[in-house]
């Protein structure tokens, strides 16, 4: 299977410090990949660099086999760990605003992921969980090839989180891929196809989640504890 995204030897320095050191991995089309690692491992930096917000200091990023460029921006949907919507807009207005920015927004998908939201309420008055559902719903409603999520759904309770994640998994098609940085290994595990473990800027494990369970008899969470449990935090 040709990879949708291929990252080869990606390096990134910030303030003279190596944040990413020669990261290499690829994402298969139709797959959801969990980007896991302790705080400071470089997860957010990796996502921001792939999203094109930061320039790499070395290595290459290939989308569909070609070096990613400014023109690919609309095909890469990136969500930071905070809301980017104008906070004074109501939910209804925010959705319209977002649809102007990203034509082709799939409203059915938006509703499936975001669930019920108070449409007349200003974004600033939403609860943390509601705001996260709004953000994630909008992002996944975009017609993108690659979705990059940085710690989604941290403010949502576990029951609701499971529901939203199922809906998010349903967004996947053969032509897109999703890479998600998260600490919520346990909750997110059932929807992951693959995992990438990042430690101090290096990929220390790249594996299929079912493969781990099948070959090693361990869950992603157990593998995580095995790899990072040694006091990396």
Chain residues that interact with other proteins, rule: CB under 8 A: 30-32, 162-163, 165-167, 169-170, 172, 189-193, 209-210, 213-214, 217-219, 221-222
Shortest Å, Cβ 85 to other proteins: 26
Shortest Å, Cβ 218 to other proteins: 6
For other proteins, the closer of residues 67 and 217 by Cβ is 217
For other proteins, the closer of residues 46 and 177 by Cβ is 177
Going by C-alpha positions, the residue among 165, 154, 100, 160 that lies closest to residue 132 is: 154
Give the strand pairing for 58-63 and 177-181.
unpaired
Shortest Å, Cβ 116 to other proteins: 17
Shortest Å, Cβ 203 to other proteins: 21
| In contact, 47 and 181? CB cutoff 8 Å | yes
DSSP 27-59: E-TT-EEEEE--TTSSHHHHHHHHHTSS--SEE
Backbone dihedral angles phi then psi of residue 228, each to the nearest 5 degrees:
-105, -5
| In contact, 50 and 4? CB cutoff 8 Å | no
* CA dist., res. 168 & res. 20, Å (int): 28
For other proteins, the closer of residues 56 and 152 by Cβ is 152
| In contact, 156 and 137? CB cutoff 8 Å | no
Shortest Å, Cβ 208 to other proteins: 10
Shortest Å, Cβ 222 to other proteins: 6
For other proteins, the closer of residues 94 and 146 by Cβ is 146
For other proteins, the closer of residues 44 and 208 by Cβ is 208
DSSP 103-123: TT--HHHHHHHH-S--TTSBG
For other proteins, the closer of residues 146 and 192 by Cβ is 192
For other proteins, the closer of residues 150 and 189 by Cβ is 189
| In contact, 18 and 57? CB cutoff 8 Å | no
Going by C-alpha positions, the residue among 11, 33, 26 that lies closest to residue 195 is: 33
Shortest Å, Cβ 212 to other proteins: 9
């Amino acid at each position: 299977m040709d990879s949708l995204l291929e990252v080869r030897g990606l390096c990134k320095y910030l303030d003279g410090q190596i944040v990413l050191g020669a990261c290499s991995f690829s994402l298969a089309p139709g797959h959801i990949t969990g980007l896991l690692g302790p705080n400071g491992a470089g997860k957010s930096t990796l996502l921001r660099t792939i999203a094109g917000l930061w320039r790499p200091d070395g290595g290459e990023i290939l989308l569909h086999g070609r070096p990613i460029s400014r023109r690919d921006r609309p095909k890469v949907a990136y969500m930071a760990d905070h809301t980017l919507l104008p906070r004074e807009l109501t939910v209804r207005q925010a959705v319209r605003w977002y649809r102007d920015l990203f034509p082709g927004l799939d409203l059915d998908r938006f509703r499936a992921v975001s669930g019920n939201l108070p449409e007349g309420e200003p974004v600033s008055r939403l609860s943390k969980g509601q705001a996260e559902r709004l953000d994630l719903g909008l992002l996944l409603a975009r017609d993108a090839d690659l979705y990059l999520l940085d710690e989604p759904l941290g403010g949502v309770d576990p029951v609701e989180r499971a529901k939203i994640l199922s809906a998010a998994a349903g967004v996947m098609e053969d032509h897109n891929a999703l890479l998600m940085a998260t600490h919520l290994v346990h909750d997110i595990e059932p929807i992951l196809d693959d995992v990438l473990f990042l430690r101090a800027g290096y990929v220390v494990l790249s594996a299929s989640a079912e493969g781990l369970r099948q070959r090693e008899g361990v869950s992603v969470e157990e593998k995580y504890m095995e790899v990072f449990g040694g006091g990396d935090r």
